[in-house]
Amino acid sequence: MNAQMKTTIRPVINLKNTAVIIRNLRREKGLTQNELAKKIGVSRTCVSNWESGARIPDCVAVIKIAAIFQVPVDYVYGMTDHRYNINIPEYFEIDFSKLNPEGMNMLYEYYKYLINNEKYRAN
């Protein structure tokens, strides 16, 4: 990688933003660190480390966090300020952790297609 490329590539994920976002989402939902940890399948210490900025959650944990709080993965990583209001009926059992990154990308692209098509957009 040449010097010019190194100066133009910026980190995509902001660790401090991610920590604050996870903490705020958890508090908005009224969950303790322990309750969130159980929902994700990690220890309370993991959640504490994420919220303090000591560690960043792996992609599977971020997908679960996004599903729990109904926000996009990009929002959890602090890559966007836009929070979607996704209302997934409870009778739909959607386990995003079963999708690999390519599947998640396809799902996101299909979602963008639907919301940009007047035929499928909510009034």
Q: Do the Cβ atoms of 121 and 115 come closer than 8 Å? A: yes
The predicted-structure confidence for 9-33, as pLDDT tens digits, reads as follows 345 566 678 999 999 999 999 999 9
Between residues 6 and 20, which one has the greater pLDDT?
20
Q: Flag whether pLDDT at 119 surpasses 90.
A: no
Q: Do the Cβ atoms of 99 and 107 come closer than 8 Å? A: yes
DSSP symbols for 6-37: HHH---S--HHHHHHHHHHHHHHTT--HHHHH
The predicted-structure confidence for 64-103, as pLDDT tens digits, reads as follows 999 898 888 888 988 877 776 556 667 777 777 777 878 8
